[in-house]
């Protein structure tokens, strides 16, 4: 039953509230609640001293049987929670300081004061001393303190901007009080993954490995971070040193970690293929056993079980069927661990979605300065807001990312999973369900385990994968957005999702920004009349077969040079190219290895130095390909069977050119040589590409948006029968 504070909406008219409760006290001075709310109203009017006087009067006058302080404490707690939901952090902070005086043993209140101080940016080293958590933690007899509150405090402290050695020291001391060690480890790893490399190392070494000295999850997290930050050999060694296990699920994780670190470093293809052969046998056994209680760590690795195969071979007829089985097992495990959500989210238990507008939810960790973020902009910008209501779900929110901030402003309702949500995929799934989303668009596919996990729960009646990667094979996904070219005609035979082919292209944008070039031939020691070939891809795409073809092109085109750029262990990549250059009789000094540029706009501007760009196979470029085509540079791409082997094909077709499209290694070399030797051919293709900016589906974001919206409407009609 609502009290007068809520039912009369007095919290929205504080002066009216003050008058109401003053009158109520005059009528009957024995009712403690009137003093509670009068003091609260005064407090919210910034009359702290008057509020305290009123509460003291209540103690003197109210009925002694009313548990005066206990009720006042509950009222203050409720109001603080309410103010926090509105993100009114300062009033909540004031209320909680008064709550501390009323209920000094309320540990959660101290945790929230710390959190609010963090949000208000008034946190300092004295705050930890002032709040004195240890006094309550060491109280005898021991207070009942929920692990949830301890873990929230742990996370908040580690995320704060206090001197990090103080955070680590406090967190180390706090570990002894947390009983749920697995959840503690999970929380620490979540914080580590969102921290700088240096901080993450300390969190893992000084906290995670104290909680669980042999933790595969902690060591795996560190190995992945080492790879991402360029410490490739350390990452490989850590992955090699993981303790052996007879457990199949542990073996899946350890093999994936080693494969990932080797691929990130690049160049070590023979070892990768040998380990991958072992890994597939282990994975086949695990899928055949079909356990329903896999550890959460194994689940997260299972969702991307076959991700690496796309870099090694072009056999989707085999790989996709296996991937479908692995993702089916993944979904079964997620649903087995979350039966309540599964039951509630089932379509037959939903109220009918009778919205005037179709509610579209976009789910991605990558709607930021990332390939997905750059390519999805035109769709979001051109969306018809009269017919569609857009919701954005950002499970990994980057506060300082300008592009993500732009996406937030474009949404009718953005949901940003910040510290409060602990990276819990179920919290995001609940939000999607409460928002009554009609069609949920997944832009991560199987590249992000948390996104896969919440999609497996089916929080929206129609779920679609687009853009982020190939289809995952997750049974909860209804449709996969493609086009006439990016998948072969028989692809539906091995896809579990219904392939929805747009009429022209599965991606259309309005173009890219570029800045001023910072790369000159003279700086690289390349003559002005030389032919420059260029390739910018990460190490895992540098398949030896493609490198060999590229060296054959360089050999056959006199006065040609090859610029090579991308994330990798530079020694490994140089060794790989040196080996194949020597085998093909190419002088090593015709190769140039470039560092990364500071921004994407600078990278695009520097593409102007290239005469010809050479794509990779069996894993093509995607965003990098579109950037090349936008800048009007001829490109050679090899077409395969799988989605990632056909990106260059569909993008070139949709940019209006066929020159440079190869269907085998021999044609790849042939086109590369022709472009190098025929300047008129290069000029013609460059002219076509520049003209295509005005005419092609690839560069018409508005038309592409209309085609996507038409697809959404048809999907929704099909769902509603």
For 326-375, the pLDDT digits (tens) are: 999 999 999 999 999 899 898 755 556 678 899 999 999 999 999 999 99
Helix (H) or strand (E) holding 71: helix 68-85
Mean pLDDT over residues 456-471, rounded?
Answer: 96
Is there a cis peptide before residue 141, judged by omega within 30 degrees of 0? Answer: yes
3-state SS assignment for residue 233: helix
pLDDT digits (tens, 9 = 90+) for 125-146: 999 899 999 999 999 888 889 8
Angle of the 32-44 helix axis to the 68-85 helix axis, nearest 10: 40
pLDDT digits (tens, 9 = 90+) for 614-673: 999 999 999 999 999 999 999 999 999 999 999 999 999 999 999 999 999 999 999 999
- Is residue 68 very low, low, confident or very high in pLDDT (cuts 50, 70, 90)? confident
Side-chain half-sphere exposure of 596, counting CA atoms within 13 A:
13
Q: How many CB atoms lie within 10 A of CB 255?
A: 22
Helix (H) or strand (E) holding 593: strand 591-594
Cα 381 to Cα 144, 410, 569, 693, distances in angstroms? 51, 7, 38, 18
Which residues lie below 8 Å from residue 410, measured CB to CB, with a gap of 6+? 380, 381, 383, 390, 392
Helix (H) or strand (E) holding 312: helix 309-312
Tell me: pLDDT of 439 over 70. yes
The rounded distance, in Å, linking the Cα atoms of 208 and 213 is 7
Helix (H) or strand (E) holding 707: helix 701-719
The rounded distance, in Å, linking the Cα atoms of 416 and 35 is 38
pLDDT digits (tens, 9 = 90+) for 542-580: 999 999 999 999 999 999 999 999 988 889 999 999 999
- Is residue 66 very low, low, confident or very high in pLDDT (cuts 50, 70, 90)? low
Q: Which two tokens stand for residue 141?
A: 């007899």
Which of 609, 617, 610, 607 has its CA nearest to residue 667? 617
Angle of the 248-265 helix axis to the 269-289 helix axis, nearest 10: 150
Task: Name the DSSP class of 448.
Answer: -
pLDDT digits (tens, 9 = 90+) for 296-333: 899 999 999 999 999 999 999 999 999 999 999 999 99
User: Do 604 and 630 form a contact (C-beta atoms < 8 A)?
Assistant: yes
The rounded distance, in Å, linking the Cα atoms of 688 and 591 is 29
Would the pTM of this model clear 0.95, i.e. be above it? no
Helix (H) or strand (E) holding 471: none
Tell me: pLDDT of 420 over 50. no
- From first CA to last CA, the distance across the chain in angstroms is 41
- Is residue 422 very low, low, confident or very high in pLDDT (cuts 50, 70, 90)? very low
Which residues lie below 8 Å from residue 325, measured CB to CB, with a gap of 6+? 287
The rounded distance, in Å, linking the Cα atoms of 424 and 232 is 30
Q: Which two tokens stand for residue 272?
A: 């990768």
Cα 121 to Cα 112, 115, 117, 161, 546, distances in angstroms? 14, 10, 6, 9, 52
Can you count the helices (H) and strands (E) in the chain? 36, 13
The rounded distance, in Å, linking the Cα atoms of 217 and 212 is 9
Q: Which stretches within 338-457 are classed as H helix? A: 339-345, 371-375, 377-382, 402-410, 425-434, 449-456
Query: Which pLDDT does position 349 carry in this prediction?
Result: 54
Tell me: pLDDT of 2 over 80. no
Please name every residue paired with 393 in a beta bridge, in sequence order, or none if there are none: 363, 415
Question: Each residue of 693-721: b (16+ CB within 10 Å) or e?
Answer: beebbbbbbebbbebbbebbeebbeeeee
User: Do 116 and 85 form a contact (C-beta atoms < 8 A)?
Assistant: no
Task: Name the DSSP class of 481.
Answer: E
Angle of the 181-193 helix axis to the 147-159 helix axis, nearest 10: 20
Q: Which stretches within 495-639 are classed as H helix? A: 521-524, 544-556, 570-584, 600-606, 623-630
């Amino acid at each position: 039953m609502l009290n007068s504070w809520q039912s009369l909406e007095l919290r929205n008219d504080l002066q009216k509230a003050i008058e109401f409760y003053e009158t109520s006290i005059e009528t009957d001075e024995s009712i403690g609640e009137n003093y509670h709310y009068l003091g609260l109203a005064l407090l919210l009017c910034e009359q702290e001293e008057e509020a305290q006087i009123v509460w003291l009067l209540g103690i003197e006058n109210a009925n002694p049987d009313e548990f005066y302080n206990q009720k006042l404490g509950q009222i203050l707690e409720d109001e603080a929670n309410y103010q926090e939901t509105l993100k009114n952090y300062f009033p909540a902070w004031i209320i909680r300081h008064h709550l501390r005086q009323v209920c000094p043993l309320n540990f959660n209140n101290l945790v929230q004061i710390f959190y609010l101080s963090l949000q208000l940016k008034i946190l300092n080293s004295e705050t930890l001393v002032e709040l004195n958590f240890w006094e309550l933690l060491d109280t005898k007899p021991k207070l009942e303190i929920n692990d949830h509150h301890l873990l929230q405090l742990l996370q908040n402290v580690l995320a704060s901007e206090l001197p990090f050695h103080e955070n680590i020291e406090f967190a180390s001391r706090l570990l002894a009080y947390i009983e749920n060690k697995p959840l503690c480890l999970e929380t620490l790893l979540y914080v580590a993954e969102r921290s700088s490399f240096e901080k993450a190392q300390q969190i893992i070494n000084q906290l995670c490995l104290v909680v669980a000295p042999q933790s595969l999850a902690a060591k795996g997290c560190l190995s992945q971070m080492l790879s991402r930050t360029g410490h490739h050999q350390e990452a490989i060694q850590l992955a090699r040193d993981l303790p052996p296990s007879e457990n199949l699920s542990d073996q899946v994780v350890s093999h994936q970690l080693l494969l990932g670190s080797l691929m990130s470093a690049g160049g070590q293809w023979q070892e990768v293929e040998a380990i991958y052969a072992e890994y597939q046998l282990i994975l086949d056994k695990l899928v055949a056993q079909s356990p329903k209680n896999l550890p959460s760590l194994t689940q997260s690795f299972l969702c991307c079980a076959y991700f690496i195969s796309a870099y090694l071979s072009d056999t989707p007829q085999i790989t996709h069927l296996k991937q479908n089985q692995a993702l089916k097992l993944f979904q079964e495990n997620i649903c087995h661990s979350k039966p309540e959500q599964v039951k509630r989210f089932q379509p037959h238990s939903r109220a009918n979605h009778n919205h005037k507008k179709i509610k579209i939810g976009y789910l991605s960790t990558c709607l930021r300065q990332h390939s997905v973020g750059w390519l999805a902009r035109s769709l979001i910008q051109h969306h018809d807001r009269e017919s569609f209501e857009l919701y954005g779900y950002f499970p990994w929110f980057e506060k300082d990312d300008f592009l993500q901030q732009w996406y937030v402003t474009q949404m009718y309702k953005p949901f940003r999973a910040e510290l409060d949500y602990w990276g819990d995929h179920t919290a995001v799934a609940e939000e999607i369900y409460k928002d009554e989303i009609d069609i949920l668009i997944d832009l991560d596919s199987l590249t992000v385990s948390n996104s896969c996990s919440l999609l497996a729960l089916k929080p929206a009646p129609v779920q679609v994968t687009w853009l982020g990667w190939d289809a995952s094979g997750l049974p909860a996904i209804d449709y996969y957005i493609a086009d006439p070219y990016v998948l072969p005609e028989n692809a539906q035979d091995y896809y579990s999702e219904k392939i929805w082919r747009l009429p022209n292209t599965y991606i259309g944008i309005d173009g890219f920004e570029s800045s001023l070039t910072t790369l000159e031939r003279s700086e690289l020691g390349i003559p002005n009349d030389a032919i420059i070939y260029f390739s910018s891809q990460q190490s895992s795409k540098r398949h030896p077969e493609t490198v060999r073809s590229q060296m054959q092109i360089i050999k056959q085109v006199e006065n040609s040079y090859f610029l090579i750029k991308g994330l990798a262990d530079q020694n490994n990549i140089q060794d790989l190219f040196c080996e194949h250059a020597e085998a093909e009789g190419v002088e090593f000094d015709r190769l140039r290895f470039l560092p990364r540029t500071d921004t994407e706009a600078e990278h695009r501007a520097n593409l102007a130095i290239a005469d010809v760009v050479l794509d990779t196979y069996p894993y093509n470029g995607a965003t990098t390909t579109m950037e090349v085509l936008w800048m009007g540079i001829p490109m050679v791409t090899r077409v395969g069977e799988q989605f990632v082997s056909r990106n260059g094909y569909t993008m070139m077709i949709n940019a209006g050119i066929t020159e440079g499209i190869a269907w085998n290694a021999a044609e790849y070399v042939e086109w590369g040589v022709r472009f190098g030797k025929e300047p008129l051919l290069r000029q013609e293709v460059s002219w076509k590409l520049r003209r295509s900016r005005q005419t092609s589906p690839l560069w018409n974001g508005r038309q592409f948006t209309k085609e996507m919206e038409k697809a959404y409407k048809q999907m929704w009609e099909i769902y509603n029968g």
